[in-house]
Amino acid sequence: MEIRNIAIIAHVDHGKTTLTDCILRHTGAVTAKEDRERIMDSNALEQEKGITILAKNTSVKYKNTRINIVDTPGHADFGGEVERVLSMTDCTLLLVDAFDGPMPQTRFVLGKSLQLGHKPIVVVNKVDRDGARPAFAVDKVFDLFSDLGATEEQLDFPIIYASAKQGWAVNELKDSPGENIEPLLDKVLAHVPAVKSDDQRPLQFQVVALDYNDYVGRIAIGKIYAGTLKKGQDVTLAKTNGQTANYKITKVYGYEGLQRYEMDEAVSGDIVAIAGIPDMFIGDTVCDLGNPIPLPAIQVEEPTVSMFFMINNSPFAGKEGKFVTTRNLRERLDRELETNVALKLEETEDKDRFKILGRGELHLSVLIETMRREGYELQVSRPEVILKSNENGEKTEPYENLVMDMPEQFSGAVIQELNRRKGELQGMETHASGITRVEYEIPTRGLIGFRGHFISETRGEGVMSSRFLRYDKYKGEIPGRKNGALISMDSGDATAYALWKVQERGELFIEPQTAVYPGMILGMNARDSDLEVNPVREKKLTNVRASGSDEAIRLTPPKRLTLEQSIEFLDDDELLEVTPNSLRLRKKILDANMRKRAGNGR
């Protein structure tokens, strides 16, 4: 049976996972019980957020050919996932929204694919969408190929028009709507080169992803570049640090649909999983016994944002979490580093504090959310960009390309805020539908905390995305949060009477009966300075009643911040306390007098 290896790449929300679902259904690779929306997004966080976080592989059979498919994330923060899996494939399906055209992450993933020598198939998706402009999308894709230095062969890309949601694809727009997805699968068979068997050469299997099973232990997923892999085979593991060790392969697994099945032997070119080697890591190469020929290590772009992770030392520490010690936190972070290739850890002088480096706020917030669901308690600081020095010794910082789509009437306020954050306008156009696209070049520092402001200013109708551009000259100070915080001066349970008085001063984040402690942030002050308030004060009761003397207590519903919104709200002198059940904003220094002495009081 011939083998084709493809990856589906695109900007976030352009329909990669939906297209994969469509292929799985058409080829009968999923059962009725497994069938649901976004089948490949198996992670609970992925299902909740509606985005792909982890790259996953599957396999389908079509016309006596095995097609191995890798579904990749579309968000820039998870670019490390894309970089490490593209090397396994021989071609990519580049999905482009028929309305949006190429977006920031499209450039990033296409650039990586072209560097590997792939000749992508362009899939113009959502051609059934209102306002779709497929001709515009194709023109912009051609321009993008040219900008990225594509060869003549790569520029001669085949085009398929599709509606992944409705389950059809066509070779020509005039044929739409189509009947099924077969035109796309036929194009894959015709355009993607079949894997050339290299079974006679020494074994080379590179690990690109890790899994775990309680019965067989660590499972490594990767591609066999040469040779064959057999169950029970003795092999040599060549690690990325140059060390080698001998092991026995206990299991070899193949893929079909969502299922992983055992097999006795796998041939070169196939994407499989193996078990039996306890200390495999991403980038390691499994070779013939005594003949280690390691493949080049997997390279990913450097992190641009850092946060401090530390043990929870608030007055409520240890009340909700199962894992609360420094040792627990260190072990969990070490475990994450094994599989998350875009993440790095730096030691600090304080043994209870770790500096974690990642690709963006979302990249780090997904790790934090995963940890709290596993029962961890921790505190995190405000995200900071990673600064560097150039050859002349000048300080440099990361810049991003930001693209926003929003109703025209909201663009003025958004542009004003981005200018305040040291952004530079690159382009602006308004579509006939009234949607304005604004493109900016802005320091990554200027984007920290901007997403919440953008959603608020555009009444939730705006869409924004960004990608890392380069390191460039440091832009100087960027103004931080405009508003101060409402800070508790006492401990206990917040009362409705006290919060009724406090809500006049700003916007509350908590509701009555919420446990509070001194230094905990209760809400956002309407002014630019911090304000200490008493949220636990009770109304003094008397036995004298008079008509009309008691006012009805009417509380405005509090703004319940999500994890991402809480991180965006943080200022330099604040922390976020994360537990399995709660998110609490707090000042680093809880005591008000000590805060003033330290010069942190606003």
16 is in an annotated binding site: yes
Element holding 454 (H helix, E strand): helix 450-457
Strand partners, 390: none
More confident residue, 301 or 520: 520
Specify the pairing of strand 353-358 against strand 435-443: unpaired
17 is in an annotated binding site: yes
Predicted TM-score (pTM) of this structure: 0.78
- CA atoms of 244 and 241, how far apart (whole Å): 9
Which residue is associated with the tokens 């055209």? 101
Whether the predicted pLDDT of 389 surpasses 50: yes
Q: SS3 sequence, 15-67?
A: CHHHHHHHHHHHCCCCCCCCCCCCCCCCCHHHHHHCCCCCCEEEEEEECCEEE
pLDDT at 544: 60
Which residue is associated with the tokens 């000048």? 394
Phi-psi region of 316 (alpha: psi -120 to 50; beta: other; left: phi over 0): alpha
pLDDT at 582: 92
Contact by Cβ (8 Å): 17, 41:
yes
588 is in an annotated binding site: no
The closest of 60, 65, 20, 59 to 40, measured between CA atoms, is 20
Opening angle at CA 480, ends 476 and 484, nearest 5: 150
pLDDT at 602: 46
- CA atoms of 523 and 484, how far apart (whole Å): 9
pLDDT at 9: 85
Whether the predicted pLDDT of 221 surpasses 80: yes
Residue 191 DSSP class: H
pLDDT at 549: 47
Which residue is associated with the tokens 């058409």? 26
pLDDT at 393: 84
Dump pLDDT digits (tens) for 7-39.
888 877 777 788 888 888 888 877 655 555 555
- CA atoms of 584 and 201, how far apart (whole Å): 58
Phi, psi of 365 (to 5 degrees): -70, -30
Helices marked H in 233-344: 326-339
Contact by Cβ (8 Å): 2, 90:
no
pLDDT at 516: 93
Whether the predicted pLDDT of 520 surpasses 60: yes
- CA atoms of 338 and 211, how far apart (whole Å): 11
Dump pLDDT digits (tens) for 226-266.
888 999 999 999 988 888 899 999 999 988 877 788 889 88
- CA atoms of 219 and 31, how far apart (whole Å): 25
Dump pLDDT digits (tens) for 425-475.
998 988 877 888 899 999 998 888 888 788 888 888 888 888 888 899 998
At what angle are helices 134-147 and 104-115 packed, to 10 degrees? 50
Residue 376 DSSP class: B
Residues 6+ apart with CB under 8 A from 48: none
Whether the predicted pLDDT of 40 surpasses 90: no
Strand partners, 578: 378, 583
579 is in an annotated binding site: no
CA distance readout (Å), 420 to 69, 243, 452:
44, 51, 16
13 is in an annotated binding site: yes
pLDDT at 543: 63
- CA atoms of 520 and 73, how far apart (whole Å): 36
Q: How long, in residues, is the chain?
A: 602
Residue 410 DSSP class: G
Percentage of the chain with pLDDT > 90? 25
Mean pLDDT of 489-496: 92
Contact by Cβ (8 Å): 452, 468:
no
Residue 452 DSSP class: H
12 is in an annotated binding site: no
Mean pLDDT of 530-551: 72
Residue 280: alpha-carbon gap to chain centroid: 24
Whether the predicted pLDDT of 53 surpasses 70: no
341 is in an annotated binding site: no
Strand partners, 207: 222
Q: What domains, with CATH codes, occur in the chain?
A: 2-191 (3.40.50.300), 204-288 (2.40.30.10), 305-385 (3.30.70.870), 388-473 (3.30.70.240), 485-598 (2.40.50.250)
Contact by Cβ (8 Å): 1, 189:
no
* Own/partner long-range contacts of 598-602 (Cβ < 8 Å, ≥24 apart): 600/573, 601/530, 602/484, 602/528, 602/529, 602/530
Q: Tell me how crowded residue 394 is: count the other CB atoms within 10 A of its CB.
A: 11
